[in-house]
């Protein structure tokens, strides 16, 4: 049986080829320092694991979850936003429980757009945004993120046709892959732009907890009127090292939240209740573990950036996320430089062109190994004599 036309149209999984290349090198017995991944390397905090264990032993969690998730998790999400961002969320109408935010990002266009509608995507951006485009049979245009504008989109550059046709826009700060952050002024500008042009906004806040230099990342929903035009998606994957648990939520505009809940009514019966109770503990209990994690990433960032500058690779330090976005040296493309690092230095990085047209000329590094391995990776690169 052939794959459906829709599945045949899906973009190739960008990271699959990188994983394959690294796997071949490791199988050859090479000591690969893998900086190309976005998978947290630290364990989930013990108090969260304990709640999962205890909940899994309770037979009540062995039954189906309520379709739209347990009320305790929706209330915890609302409490989290009030405590962390001073944003009021109605848990009954403004929260959708998600199997990780990738699900929400892919299913949202199917829930609120019609075939042929136009959406706006950041470039460079998370590759799986494009999966939602294909699944919903919609069209897209890109919002170029350039260093001269601090990797923020410039709405004034959009054509009148694009502004009139677009119905949904994705943003993501702290940003993957660039590590850039956005301030409240930008989000206020975004709300005004969205209202003027009748465009819904979905802000991917996956790295919302990870800001450096004492700066806490800003939530889109902190902008005045944000809930009038959009939602924010928050995952526990990065904040609490729960990537494999697949749990997150969307909050904000009640109509968009209802659309997400409705499509999920037909796709899922929500996630394992024990995981939901563990997520409640993560959101509600002491956040010391989060502070310690951010300190760890900031220390790694500082060590890595210092090492790069030491070998003559002059790069900017990211302001958030656990990624560094680094320009490739003259004479190389993103792919050729990434290949050279893997082939000749046993260092794996993600080529920037995999994140979009405007990712060309960069590589992405994940700060997801210990500091000594980050320094070793840079030392290996330095020995190539490129810089």
* Model confidence pLDDT, tens digit, residues 120-166: 999 999 999 999 999 999 999 999 999 999 999 999 999 999 999 99
Q: How confident is the model at residue 19 (pLDDT cuts 50, 70, 90)?
A: confident
d(CA 273, CA 56): 8
Q: How confident is the model at residue 234 (pLDDT cuts 50, 70, 90)?
A: very high
Task: Average the pLDDT over 44-52 and give the result.
Answer: 98
Measured between alpha carbons, how far apart are the two ends of the chain, in Å? 52
Q: Are residues 245 and 173 in the same domain?
A: yes
pLDDT in tens, 284-340: 999 999 999 999 999 999 999 999 999 999 999 999 999 999 999 999 999 999 999
**149: in domain:** yes
d(CA 106, CA 292): 31
Q: Are residues 157 and 191 in the same domain?
A: yes
Q: Are residues 135 and 224 in the same domain?
A: yes
**264: in domain:** yes
Residue 362 pLDDT exceeds 80: yes
Buried-exposed string 212-242: b where 16+ CB fall within 10 A, e elsewhere: beeeebbbbbbbeebbebbbbbbbbbbbbbb
Looking at residue 271, what DSSP letter applies? S
Q: Are residues 86 and 225 in the same domain?
A: yes
Q: Are residues 117 and 247 in the same domain?
A: yes
Where is the domain boundary, 284, 317, 348? 284
Q: Are residues 178 and 258 in the same domain?
A: yes
**51: in domain:** no
Where is the domain boundary, 284, 313, 348? 284
Nearest-CA neighbor of 322 among 15, 82, 36? 36
Where is the domain boundary, 284, 317, 342? 284
Which CATH number covers residue 304?
Answer: 3.90.1150.10
Q: How confident is the model at residue 14 (pLDDT cuts 50, 70, 90)?
A: confident
pLDDT in tens, 177-211: 999 999 999 999 999 999 999 999 999 999 999 99
Q: What is the pLDDT of residue 135?
A: 94
Q: What is the pLDDT of residue 230?
A: 98
Q: Are residues 258 and 270 in the same domain?
A: yes
| Residue 130 burial (C-beta neighbours within 10 Å; 0-12, 13-18, 19+) | middle
**351: in domain:** yes
Q: Are residues 346 and 201 in the same domain?
A: no
Q: Are residues 166 and 27 in the same domain?
A: no
Helix (H) or strand (E) holding 175: none
Q: Are residues 72 and 113 in the same domain?
A: yes
Which CATH number covers residue 184?
Answer: 3.40.640.10
Would you tell me the crossing angle of helices 334-345 and 371-382 to the nearest 10 degrees?
A: 100
Question: Which whole-number Å values give the CA distances from 157 to 9, 142, 162, 177, in the listed order?
Answer: 29, 11, 10, 22
**236: in domain:** yes
Task: Average the pLDDT over 342-353 and give the result.
Answer: 96
Q: Are residues 98 and 127 in the same domain?
A: yes
Q: What total of structural domains would you count in the chain?
A: 2
Residue 9 has a CB neighbour count (10 Å cut-off) of 12
Indicate the SS3 state at residue 34.
strand
Helix (H) or strand (E) holding 202: strand 200-204
Q: For residue 307, what are the domain limits? A: 5-44+288-382
Q: Which ranges of the chain would DSSP assign to H, the alpha helix? A: 5-9, 14-27, 46-56, 71-85, 101-112, 129-136, 160-165, 184-197, 226-229, 236-239, 254-267, 273-284, 288-310, 334-345, 371-382
Backbone phi and psi for residue 234, each to the nearest 5 degrees, phi listed first: -125, 130
**245: in domain:** yes
Cβ 317 vs Cβ 212: under 8 Å: yes
Its pTM stands at 0.96
**54: in domain:** no
**139: in domain:** yes
Q: Are residues 258 and 279 in the same domain?
A: yes
């Amino acid at each position: 049986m052939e794959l459906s036309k829709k599945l045949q149209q899906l973009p190739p999984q960008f990271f699959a080829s990188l994983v394959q290349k690294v796997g071949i090198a490791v199988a050859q017995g090479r000591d690969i320092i893998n900086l190309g991944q976005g998978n947290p390397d630290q364990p989930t905090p013990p108090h969260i694991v304990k709640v999962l264990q205890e909940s899994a032993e309770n037979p009540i969690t062995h039954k189906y979850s309520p379709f739209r998730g347990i009320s305790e998790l929706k209330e915890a999400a609302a409490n989290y936003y009030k405590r962390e961002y001073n944003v009021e969320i109605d848990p009954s109408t403004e929260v959708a429980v998600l199997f990780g935010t990738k699900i929400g990002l892919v299913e949202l266009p199917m829930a609120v757009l019609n075939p042929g509608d136009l959406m706006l995507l950041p470039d460079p951006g998370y590759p799986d945004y494009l999966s939602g485009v294909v699944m919903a049979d919609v069209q897209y245009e890109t919002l170029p993120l350039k260093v001269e504008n601090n990797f923020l989109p410039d709405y004034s550059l959009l054509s009148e046709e694009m502004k009139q046709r677009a119905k949904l826009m994705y943003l993501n700060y702290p940003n993957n892959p660039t590590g850039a952050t956005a301030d409240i002024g930008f989000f206020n500008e975004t709300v005004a732009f969205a209202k003027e042009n009748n465009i819904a906004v979905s802000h991917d806040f996956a790295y919302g907890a990870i800001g450096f230099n004492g700066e806490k990342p800003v939530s889109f929903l902190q902008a005045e009127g944000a809930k009038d035009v959009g939602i924010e998606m928050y995952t526990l994957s990065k904040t609490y090292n729960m990537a494999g648990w697949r749990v997150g939520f969307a909050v904000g505009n009640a109509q968009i939240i209802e659309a997400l809940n409705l499509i999920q009514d037909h796709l899922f019966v929500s996630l394992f209740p024990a995981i939901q109770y563990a997520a409640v503990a993560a959101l509600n209990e002491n956040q010391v573990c989060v502070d310690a994690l951010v300190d760890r990433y900031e220390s790694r960032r500082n060590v890595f950036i210092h090492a790069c500058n030491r070998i003559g690779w002059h790069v900017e330090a990211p302001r958030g996320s656990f990624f560094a976005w680094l320009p490739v040296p003259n004479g190389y493309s993103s792919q050729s430089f990434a290949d050279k690092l893997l082939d000749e230095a046993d260092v794996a990085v993600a080529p920037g062109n995999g994140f979009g047209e405007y990712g060309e000329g960069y590589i992405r590094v994940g700060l997801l190994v210990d500091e000594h391995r980050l320094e070793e990776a840079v030392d290996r690169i330095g020995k190539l004599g490129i810089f």
